[in-house]
Each structure stands twice: as structure tokens, then as C-alpha cells.
Amino acid sequence: MPKEDVVEVPAMGEGLFLHNLFQSNMVLQRDKPVSLWGWAAPGEQVTVTVAGNSGSATAGEDRSWKVTLPAMPASSEPIPVTVKVKDQTLTLENVLVGDVWLLGGQSNREFPLSKVENGNLEIVSANFPKIRILTIPAAAGPVAPKGFARLHEWSDWSNQHFRKGDWDVCSPEIVSDLSAIGYVFARRVHMASGVPIGVVDISRGGTTVETWTPDPVIRQLDTEPVRKLLADWDQKVAAWDPKKDLDNYSEMMADVGALIREAQYQTFLELHKAGDQHIGYTSTYDLKRRWYHPQLKLPAGERIARWALATEYGFGKQLGWKPPVVEEMKVADGSILLSMDVAVNGVDDGGPIEGFSVAGEDRQFHPAKAEHQVTGKDQKNQKVLVLTSPLVPQPVHYRYAWARNPMGNLQVLGNTDIPFATQRSDDWPHGEMVVDGELKKFEGRQLQTALRALDVARMAKGAAALIGTEKP
């Protein structure tokens, strides 16, 4: 095939045409009204029949039509689906009814099973005929597309074609190119629930969260934060200069991984505290892979599946998923006390709790010792942590797992595999700290140099204290 996209079925065709979201081998969502749509000749009546339930609609001037049928329970046995007009009938085969999960995200969500640690073991074991897979072709642009093609999508990055746009039965021959996280999630949820599972992968590398919501929808959110965000966005778009932005690209590359993880966790907290019963969260920084595309993906899929099984499938008593939450922070006697909503401990039994740092008013963070609060002789409160540092006599704020590849090991007590999330108590801007009594802002290499100097000074103090030569 040529080194370009090779289309097998277009996004929209002539005559009676069903949207490519609906195909043989698909899964329809159980317990919800079932809608199917597509195109036909203007004014033509279209009749859809699913498992004996029928409904009709008339195609509009733009050829579009949509039929909605009653909800159905889960079914592991294939059901018949037909779409008819006067002189044409489309038939879908091997259609199941179960749960359909949408896989959204960036390149780490896209990362295929064939390229991750132990991916080949999962591939040879992927005989799950009740799991169905659909990967949506990549698309980008200011106008929302009406559909997607079924094609062999060319990738310059991988120098190969990827088959996308087709519903497939999960098998070793098919699953290798599927999202590794998505496959493990589907496999675990299906094994525990026994329900047919469909996974639709729409992830796209490099996308920002704003691009996942149509601009008109965002502009309907009439709140002060959204209005401010949109005004700032419109100003940046109007002032964008591609040459100027490229000129300072390196300077903008200071690592902000911790800030991203913090924003994700804070978003979860806000929605969860507001009463969203379907929001979930998990961390993976503790898996100790420093590349931005870590190939240890299987545990991430399992952790997400644990959330789904606990909240959506009735396994809440057997499975935990929610990370420990700080309920109260107190600053007293040269220490910071953190009160948690659950008991916590370092994942290494008997080892130290790692990953915390504290800072005083100078905004210079140093590693902190984290211990459970002592409440009596041989007694400790495992829901309260005490943070201290000899280099910070009067700490005012803490940070946890604040690095690209942090050493944090705090989890819910009891070998739960539920990490404490990346977070901080301060709101100090990235790169600001006090040096020689003056608040300064560092960026890029300047920031790296300043932080390196802080590390060197700390190590020198530690070495001097060790050999007993530190001057008072």
C-alpha cells in the first residue's frame, strides 16, 4: 500500500448508509435507549429493527436520519440488527448488548499493547470473544466531522499502516495495536462482571483538555472562570506569532510534569466533592519509569478497572480505589501535621515514607522526614503524618511526589496499590523562590541551575554534619 491513508469505507456514502459507528461485531450499550443514525435519500423512510424492536424515521434534506429504540438488557448472545429503505436492506451480524467504554486521552492512552512490558503475554492470552474493539481514526480541525472512514491509517512516526475504524472481536490477531491500558481495563472488567464489553478508543497524542470539548459548548458555560479563560484564550489566538513562539521554545521546556499531575488530581477532588459519583482517579508515578511514555502500562489498566468495578459493578465492598485525601493540615512546633481520611503507610513494609518535601517562607523546598504521629508508648496514629526537616526549622508548606519521576511511596495502608496523589499545599508560581533575601523568578535553564545549587548546598550541609565540622 502507498505511504498514505488507504480508505476502505468512506465516512459517508451514497444511498442508504449507516454511520460507521454501527457495524457487525459491535456492542450496544445495555439499559439505555438505543439510537442508530446515518444517511439516505431526502424524504425516504428508514426502518431500524434491533432484537425485534422497530422504529422509523424520515431522512431530511441533508439526507440525515436517526432512530431511537427502547433500552435492552445485557445479552451475550448475538442479536439481529437490520436497517431498511424501500429497495435496500443493511444487516449487522454478531452484535452484542453490554457496556461500551470510551477511551480518551493522549499518547500514553494510545500506546499499543505490542509495545509495553509483558504486552506479548497479554496478546497470546487475548481470547475474549465477548470483548469488542473499535479504534477511531485520527482527525483534527475546527469543524466537527460528521463521521469517520474505515481505513488503513498511515503513520509517518511508525512508518506503517494501522487498521482503524472497524469493530473487531478481541483475539490475539487483533489486540496488538489496541491501547494497552484500554485492553487491560476491558479484560479485567469483563472477567469480573461477565458482561460483554465494547471499548472505543478515541485517544489522540498531544491533545489538550480544551480540544476535547467543542468551542460552542465551552462558550455556553457562563461562569466567571470560564469567561476569564475564554478571554485569555481569544487574546492568545489573536496575538499568536509562530516565528516568535518557536524562537523561545527551549526556554519554555522547564519540566512541569508535577504541575500537570497536580491539576489532574485537583480536578478530580473538585468534581468528587461536588457530588460526582462517576468520577475516578488513579496515579501511576509510583511505577518508577522516568520516560514520558513509560512502557509499564498494565498496572495502570488494572487500577482503572478497579475503580470501574467498585463504582459501577457493585464490587465496592471488596475493592478500594480512592486515593488518601488530606482532611486537615496544621503547622506547629517546627513541623507540619497532615490528617488523612484513611490510614496510610509506605509501600515498603517497615521502610521510611518517601516523597515529601517542606519549605519555609523562603520557598526553598527540602526533603522531609514523614512519620506517623506518636500517640502513646508504642502507639501511633496511622491517619496522621508529621513532616519535619532539619533544613527547614519553620515549615509552612509541603509538596509530595513533586518531580518528573518522584520517589514517593505512600499508599492506603494494607498493600492496597492505591497511591497518595501528587499534590502541594502552596500556590506559589512555578520557579519562584527567595534567594539572598529577594523573591526571584527563574525559568528554563536558570531554574535548573538555581535548584541544582540548592541541592549542592543541602548535600554540603549534610556532609558537614556527618563528619562533625558544620559551623554553628
- 180 and 31 both lie in a single domain: yes
**Residue range 282-309: mean pLDDT, rounded:** 90
Inside any domain, residue 45: yes
SS3 111: coil
Inside any domain, residue 11: yes
Residue-wise pLDDT tens digits, 96-152: 999 999 999 988 888 899 999 999 999 999 999 999 999 999 876 667 788 999 999
Inside any domain, residue 452: no
Inside any domain, residue 236: no
More confident residue, 250 or 451: 451
Rounded Cα gap, residues 21 and 37, in angstroms: 9
Asked if residue 178 lies in contact with residue 112, where contact means CB atoms within 8 angstroms, the answer is yes
**Residue range 192-200: mean pLDDT, rounded:** 97
Rounded Cα gap, residues 240 and 350, in angstroms: 54
Domain end position, chosen among 147, 172, 201: 201
CATH number, position 36: 2.60.40.10
Residue 24 has pLDDT above 80, yes or no: yes
pLDDT of res. 440: 77
Inside any domain, residue 460: no
Domain end position, chosen among 152, 179, 201: 201
Residue-wise pLDDT tens digits, 167-192: 999 999 999 999 999 999 999 999 99
Residue 407: closest CA among 348, 458, 465, 457 = 348
| Per-residue pLDDT band at 255 (split at 50, 70, 90) | low
Q: Which of 163-177, 186-200, 226-240, 383-397 has the lowest mean pLDDT?
A: 226-240
Residue 195: closest CA among 98, 85, 340 = 98
- 21 and 163 both lie in a single domain: yes
> Structural domain of residue 393, as residue ranges?
326-439
Give the chain's domain count: 2
Inside any domain, residue 463: no
Angstrom distances, CA of residue 330 to CA of 35, 273, 338, 398, 421: 53, 21, 7, 11, 19
CA angle 321/324/326 to nearest 5° reads 150
Inside any domain, residue 290: no
**Residue range 78-85: mean pLDDT, rounded:** 96
Inside any domain, residue 297: no
More confident residue, 43 or 247: 43
Domain end position, chosen among 181, 201, 221: 201
Strand partners, 288: none
- 53 and 191 both lie in a single domain: yes
Rounded Cα gap, residues 416 and 414, in angstroms: 5
**Residue range 270-287: mean pLDDT, rounded:** 92
pLDDT of res. 350: 65
Most confident of 80-94, 250-264, 434-448: 80-94
pLDDT of res. 237: 79
